[in-house]
Amino acid sequence: MSTSLDTTEFVVRSIAQTCVDNEKYFGDLDSVVGDGDFGYSLARGFEQVIAHWDEYDREDSGTFLLKIALVISSRIGGTSGPIWGTAFMRAGTALKGIDSVSGADVVAALRTSIEGIKKRGNSDVGDKTLLDALVPAIDALEASVLQGDSGGLSMQKLAAAARTAAEATSSLKALRGRASYSGDRSIGSPDAGAVAVAVLAEQLAEAWKS
C-alpha cells in the first residue's frame, strides 16, 4: 500500500531523473534567447539529489522535501537554483508534520511554492517564465482534485494544461531573466522553464500509470 512519503519520493525521483535526461533539450531551448545554461544547471543539481538519495531524512513528506530543497539551492547554478530551491522549500514547509497528505494538501503546498517563486523572481504570470505553465497546471490539478478524480487522471489533466500553457508562451515577450535582454526577439519561441514544467508533468503522468 502506497503512503504519502512513497508518493512524494516517486514524484521527486521522477523530476530529478527527467531533468538529468533532458539536459541537452532544456539547454537547447534556453539557448534560443537565453544563455543556454538552464539544462546544464538543472541536470547538475538533480544529479546530486539522486547521488545522495538514501541519505535524506524521511520523517515525513515535508521534511524530505526540505532536505531536497537544500541540495537544489546549493547545487543548481544561475537563477534556477534560488527559484527551484524556493519552490521545494515552500512545499516542504507546507507539508512538514503531515503524515497523510491529501490532494488538497498538495494543491496548497504547490500554491505556496508559486507564491515563493513569484516573490523570489519578482515575476508573475505573463512575464514568460515557468509560472506561465506552472500556474495553469496547478489550476487544473486543483479542479481535478475538487472533482474527486483519481491520482492518475489528475496527473493527466495537470500535464495537458502545462503543455498547452507552455506552448502559448511563444506569443509572449520575455520580461524576466536573461531572455528579457532579447526584447521582441524573444517572441516566437516558448520559454524554456515553461516547457520544462510541461515535460516534467508529462513524465509524471506517464510514470503514474505504471
Tell which residue, 85, 140, 135, has the closest CA to residue 114: 135
Tell which residue, 138, 156, 147, 165, has the closest CA to residue 205: 156
Q: Where are the beta strands (DSSP E) in the chain?
A: none
Q: Which three cell numbers stand for residue 103?
A: 490532494
> ∠ CA 207-203-150 to the nearest 5 degrees?
55
Tell which residue, 104, 69, 74, has the closest CA to residue 87: 69
pLDDT at 160: 98
Sign of the four-CA dihedral 56, 47, 78, 124: negative
For residue 112, give its domain range: 4-209
The domain that contains 25 carries what CATH number?
Answer: 1.25.40.340
Euclidean distance between CA atoms 192 and 108, whole angstroms: 25
pLDDT at 1: 34
- Looking at the structure of the chain, the number of domains it has is 1
**Length of the chain, in residues:** 210
pLDDT in tens, the chain (210 residues): 356 999 999 999 999 999 999 999 999 998 887 777 899 999 999 999 999 999 999 999 999 999 999 999 999 878 889 999 999 999 999 999 998 999 999 999 999 999 999 999 999 999 999 999 999 999 999 999 999 999 999 999 999 999 999 999 998 877 766 555 555 556 878 999 999 999 999 999 999 987
Euclidean distance between CA atoms 68 and 162, whole angstroms: 23
Full-model pTM: 0.93
